[in-house]
Amino acid sequence: MKTFQEFGLHEHIIKAIDELGFEKPTPIQEKTLPFLLNSSQDVVALAQTGTGKTAAFGLPMIHKIEWKNKSVQGIVLCPTRELCMQITNDLDYFSKYVEGVFVVPVYGGTSIDKQITALKRGGQIVVGTPGRVLDLIKRKKLLLNKIKYLVLDEADEMLNMGFKEDLDSILSKTPDGRQSMLFSATMPKGIANIAKKYMQNAEEISAGKKNIGAENVQHHYYAVQASNRYLALKRIADYYPNIYGIVFCRTRRETKEVSEKLMADGYNADALHGDLSQAQRDHVMNRFRKKNLQILVATDVAARGLDVNDLSHIINYNIPDELEAYIHRSGRTGRAGKHGISITIIHGRETNKIAQLEKIVGKGFERKEVPGGKEICEKQLFTLIDKVEWVEVNESTIEEYLDIIYKKLAWLSREELIKRFVSVEFNRFLSYYKDAPDLNIKTQKRGEQREGRRDRGGRGQSNFTRFHINLGSKNKVSAIDLISLINKHTGNNSIEIGKIEILKTFSFFEIEKSFEKQLKEAFKDVHRDGIKVKIEVSKNKEKPDLSKRFKKKKSRSGKRRFR
């Protein structure tokens, strides 16, 4: 493996990265740096979050720009304010000893006037979010006609967040002959289309396989009833007393509910979602970065661009609607050579999604049993004992109290003292988990028939109601769209959704019978793309018999034919 000095970077840049403690380049840096330093060819680079992508494109760009020329020569587009600030800080550090180089961050949620003033003062590199960059271009305050370097960082995330039109507008205003660098963790069709449309003969560089999760991450899943999802989350948090991680939820509402429940139950947690002001968001993130919070509950959108190291766990409270988003979630742990665990809580009818995730990630998922009261109490007990054993004693502070403490406890034997000491902290766990029920459910083995589907038509699931809906593939409805529609209008992500059949002009789906009335109420006045959505309990429990649509009719020859 090469060192940074061997790549031929300017001595001022080497001095800065030496101070930062960079010793050896990461795999993506080792492959990307020599190429970008010695070529003007476009690049598509595939690497996971946390693998050193900023240095991979930032160091060559700082090395190659004209330091004395104050016009904008490079622009970095990224999905969120947090990532924008992170990239800006990194580039500032890399160019610390390069006189005259300035990096200007531009993003929404703050005064545009200050950013305009910063642009007027001059900066060779602009780092920004697509919306704010486009706004500044339209105001003619940001000119891209002279840029030589264009970077799309976390390009797949920008597409997922709906920035495609903004990106198209921005890229169309950049000059021919620029060097374009597209960095992404996954390679969906949208990214391939951007590369084809805006890049010339791009070199593809990959630090690992496409769409593959981080190597140092273990993947576990727990299967429970949908209604027991929160109880399972609590037990997982209790089983890992030193947890430092993010719990991912599907919606803002669910994020609020879960975080509020955790805080009310005494957990060191808080929420990050789109309803927070920027000041509130910064406050929560500062607490989390400083580890004053153990658990951050967030949506995918709110968590994008977070720069947090040393996460021990990622917990998927729900499987993401877009399964590839799982790679971004799980990639937030197991960074910089450290190990992490990505946990997914599923209900019984989501086992097939685990198989799909295994294909996307390229790794097996291990089925775990939700720990019971005994296991949790044991884990908490020995964690407490370890803390006591290795706690740092500040004798100068407590010395004046020791005589009184010794006298007060002198009547207790060593064994009795230990019992009482442990019980002070431990009794609440023993009390809470006394007679705790088993939350685990039996799920089918992959490829086997589900239990209970043995009566006529293969449907013995008495706990589910089958509905008909007047939307199908003709209306551009997929199974994910249907799930999102149900979650959105019922406002309840805990409803267990069973088998879904998408046909051309209509579809069938199953939900838990106990939510039948709620679903009917929720869809009384729902429209989608100008069509009034109608749902009703399916009278025919079987699959539709398509043969009944064809009637026999005699032809002139006397033979029967189908019409």
Whether 179 contacts 6, CB under 8 Å: no
Query: How far apart are alpha carbons 354 and 234 in whole angstroms?
Result: 22
Going by their DSSP bridges, the two strands 245-249 and 295-299 should be labelled as parallel
Same structural domain for residues 11 and 124? Answer: yes
Tell me the DSSP string of 127-148. EE-HHHHHHHHHTTSS--TT--
Span 319-375, pLDDT tens digits: 887 777 788 788 888 876 678 999 999 987 788 889 888 888 888 899 999 998 888
Q: Which helix (H) or strand (E) holds 253?
A: helix 252-264
Same structural domain for residues 387 and 357? Answer: no
- What pLDDT is recorded for position 267? 93
Which of 206, 228, 260 terminates a domain? The answer is: 206
Same structural domain for residues 77 and 178? Answer: yes
Same structural domain for residues 333 and 412? Answer: no
b (16+ CB within 10 A) / e for 251-263: bbbbbebbbeebe
Query: How far apart are alpha carbons 240 and 104 in whole angstroms?
Result: 42
Q: How many domains does the chain have?
A: 4
156, part of any domain: yes
Q: Which two tokens stand for residue 47?
A: 């690497």
* C-alpha R_g of the chain: 29
Query: How far apart are alpha carbons 230 and 111 in whole angstroms?
Result: 40
Same structural domain for residues 357 and 392? Answer: no
- What pLDDT is recorded for position 304? 66
**Residue 427 burial (CB count, 10 A):** 10
Whether 311 contacts 343, CB under 8 Å: no
**Residue 389 burial (CB count, 10 A):** 7
CATH code assigned at 527? 3.30.70.330
554, part of any domain: no
552, part of any domain: no
Query: How far apart are alpha carbons 316 and 342 in whole angstroms?
Result: 8
Domain extent for 415: 374-432
Q: Which two tokens stand for residue 2?
A: 């090469």
pTM for the complete prediction? 0.57
Which of 364, 397, 432 terminates a domain? The answer is: 432
303 to 185, 246, 281, 328, 451: CA distances (angstroms)? 16, 9, 11, 10, 38
- What pLDDT is recorded for position 244? 95
Q: Which two tokens stand for residue 215?
A: 């190597």
- What pLDDT is recorded for position 452? 38
Direct distance between the N- and C-terminal alpha carbons of the chain, in angstroms, rounded to an integer: 71
Same structural domain for residues 402 and 477? Answer: no
Q: Which helix (H) or strand (E) holds 524?
A: none
Same structural domain for residues 34 and 182? Answer: yes
- What pLDDT is recorded for position 540? 60
pLDDT along the chain (563 residues), means of 10: 83 90 84 92 82 90 93 92 88 92 91 93 94 94 92 84 86 91 79 82 75 73 92 94 92 90 93 82 88 91 72 92 80 78 88 86 90 86 83 84 89 88 78 84 53 38 80 84 81 74 89 86 88 86 44 44 39
Same structural domain for residues 257 and 381? Answer: no
- What pLDDT is recorded for position 307? 67
- What pLDDT is recorded for position 552? 44
413, part of any domain: yes
Q: Which amino acid is at 561?
A: R
38, part of any domain: yes
Same structural domain for residues 364 and 378? Answer: no
Of 108, 11, 22, the residue nearest 63 (C-alpha): 11
- What pLDDT is recorded for position 124? 95
Q: Which residues contact 186 (CB under 8 A, 6 or more apart)?
A: 46, 156, 210, 211, 324, 327, 328
- What pLDDT is recorded for position 164? 85
Same structural domain for residues 105 and 230? Answer: no
283 to 72, 246, 272: CA distances (angstroms)? 32, 16, 10
562, part of any domain: no
Q: Which two tokens stand for residue 541?
A: 């429990």
Which of 356, 372, 388 terminates a domain? The answer is: 372
CATH code assigned at 344? 3.40.50.300
359, part of any domain: yes
Tell me the DSSP string of 68-102. T--S--EEEE-S-HHHHHHHHHHHHHHTTTSTT--
b (16+ CB within 10 A) / e for 37-70: eeeeebbbbbbbbbbbbbbbbbbbbbbbbebeee
- What pLDDT is recorded for position 213? 53
Query: How far apart are alpha carbons 186 and 211 in whole angstroms?
Result: 5
Same structural domain for residues 29 and 80? Answer: yes
487, part of any domain: yes
Residue 157 backbone dihedrals phi, psi, to 5 degrees: -65, -40
Same structural domain for residues 117 and 200? Answer: yes
349 to 39, 450, 498, 499, 535: CA distances (angstroms)? 51, 9, 6, 8, 22
Going by their DSSP bridges, the two strands 497-502 and 507-512 should be labelled as antiparallel
